[in-house]
Amino acid sequence: MVSGNPASAPAKESLQQTEHAKNFLPPSKHGSQYGIIKNQAFLPGTAKTIHTRMWNPQGENVETVGRGDGVEKRLNSREDVHSVSNSQNRFPFLENLGFPQLPHPLLLRRRTIIIKHALKIRRSTMRIHINTQELNAGISTVIKALSVRTTVSILEGIYLEASNGWLLLRCTDLSLQIETNVAATVQEEGAIVLPGRLFSEMVRRLPGEMTFIDVKKGTATIESGSFKTTLQGEDAEGFHTMSTVTREHIIKMKCDAFKNMIRQCIFAAAQDDAKPILAGALLEQHEGDLSLVALDGYRLAMRMERIPGGMLADRSAVIPARSLLEISKILPDSDQEFDMIFSKTHVMIDLSHTNITARLMDGEFIKYKQILPDGHKTRVRVNRQELMSGIDRVALMAREGKSNLIKFTFTSDKLTIAANSELGRSHEEIAVDAMGEDIEIAFNAKYFTDVLRVLDEDELYLDMNNNISPCVVRPVQGSAFYYLILPVRLFSGM
């Protein structure tokens, strides 16, 4: 096991190692122009690796790979800074100490070293000054993964860990974990778990510009302006942290593009537990293409994007729709690039100061490609907005019936949308441009509006074969999306 891969180890053994590892943190090195943007535990006494990415004074990334050996020694941070900045990203002080510099096989085109020091964080003590607004922003980010109504009461807390000028905040429900780093003036390093809901609502209302947090013997004193509170914390050792994601595969994506992929896809994931794997979405990389697919047995949504960078190997993973939703809420609306780091069991979204780790779903995803129709006998070009508001109006009547059924009648230049219930009958005509056979086909109104609502295009193609095979919604240009909606069989009298 010593040199084995923790991701492939049996779950129980892996958890024990992680528990053990929490007593140690990577060596700390930073100066005024330096920032550790990721803190990850590593495994003392084994050859497991940890990564600590830093900025050097030139703004370049310096990546270090640490190997745990259980030795606890704290490096002087001022010395580290000078060593790094005086030596063009080399660490001569380590070489002087006898540690060889080796390239690491998992890191491509990056300079790596092995370091052998670990720092033991003093638990249940801490003293920091922090900007209230930044603290609040950090808590708002991590609180999305806070456990609610759990039997593991410590997971209803927020994990705080202060070291090296940063306060690390972390929440997890063991399926999703969000952690973020907020700059802080750290007078004493340490960690504690505070009651999540109460602490977050308090911080949202703190009156002072700065907040002082002082933890002694498991009790946190929080002062801001005229307000002061003491909060009973829980020992940070008891917090369950999700295991570190080994860097088996990395996909680079742009934030706004991935946010859109999620928004335009996950609504089609199953809401019930009939087939658990369908509560997730399949992320597939094939060369430079990335696709996200969700389906629930009645409709399928697929979004495609080109990958701007990262590894080119093929890879697929099923991510819970709920985790994707929280990821999309945290991703900024910019075209900034970020890394998705995959192990066999987890994915980690690396947004510099914020990391989101989601457990992947076990099992095979549905082999959806075999249900995609080959061609079409009718292709209709429609205005998305007109179709959506037409369905919206007619569907009110359909909603009164139990089936929520709307009927489309396509002729060469006209679409008639109709619905009826015991309260009456509605219909609306909209102009379309149809090629191929006339067709009468019925759908659950919700499945159509779900698709039309998330799209931004003015015009769409609807491709159909007959009224018992699925309708495909495609872009007029390109192939960024592909939606498939199963029709409802029509009986006479509709």
The site for its own copies (CB under 8 A) is made up of 195, 198, 201-202, 205-207, 219, 226-232, 389-390, 392-394, 396-397, 400, 422-430
Nearer to its own copies, 98 or 424 (CB): 424
In angstroms, what is the minimal distance from the CB of 199 to its own copies? 9
Using N-to-C axis directions, what is the helix angle for 384-400 and 445-454, rounded to 10°? 150
The per-residue b/e assignment along 72-98, b for 16 or more CB within 10 angstroms, e otherwise, is eeebebeebbebbeeeeeebebbeeee
> Which residues contact residue 425 at a Cβ distance below 8 angstroms, ignoring those fewer than 6 apart?
397, 418, 419
In angstroms, what is the minimal distance from the CB of 364 to its own copies? 43
Token pair belonging to 427: 């219909």
In angstroms, what is the minimal distance from the CB of 208 to its own copies? 11
- CA pair distance 453, 439, nearest whole angstrom: 24
In angstroms, what is the minimal distance from the CB of 220 to its own copies? 8
Nearer to its own copies, 32 or 226 (CB): 226
- Helix or strand (DSSP H, E) at 378: strand 378-383
For 81, the 3-state DSSP assignment is: helix
Nearer to its own copies, 73 or 204 (CB): 204
Identify the residue whose tokens are 């019936």: 401
For 104, the 3-state DSSP assignment is: coil
Nearer to its own copies, 189 or 428 (CB): 428
Nearer to its own copies, 173 or 234 (CB): 234
In angstroms, what is the minimal distance from the CB of 106 to its own copies? 43
Nearer to its own copies, 201 or 335 (CB): 201
- CA pair distance 24, 21, nearest whole angstrom: 6
Strand 424-431 relative to strand 354-359: parallel, antiparallel, unpaired? unpaired
- CA pair distance 491, 494, nearest whole angstrom: 6
In angstroms, what is the minimal distance from the CB of 424 to its own copies? 4
In angstroms, what is the minimal distance from the CB of 478 to its own copies? 30
Q: Nearest 5°: CA angle at 66, between 65 and 72?
A: 160
Instruction: Name the CA dihedral angle for 207, 210, 215, 219, rounded to a multiple of 10 degrees.
Output: 0
Nearer to its own copies, 11 or 148 (CB): 148
Identify the residue whose tokens are 């205005």: 383
Nearer to its own copies, 201 or 438 (CB): 201
DSSP assignment of 311-341: --S-EEEEEEHHHHHHHHHHS-SS--EEEEE
In angstroms, what is the minimal distance from the CB of 226 to its own copies? 5
In angstroms, what is the minimal distance from the CB of 384 to its own copies? 15
Looking at residue 223, its amino acid is E
In angstroms, what is the minimal distance from the CB of 439 to its own copies? 20
Q: In angstroms, how far is the first alpha carbon of the chain from the final one?
A: 66
Nearer to its own copies, 225 or 288 (CB): 225
- CA pair distance 398, 421, nearest whole angstrom: 6
Looking at the DSSP assignment, which residues form a beta bridge with residue 349?
Answer: 340, 356
Nearer to its own copies, 230 or 479 (CB): 230
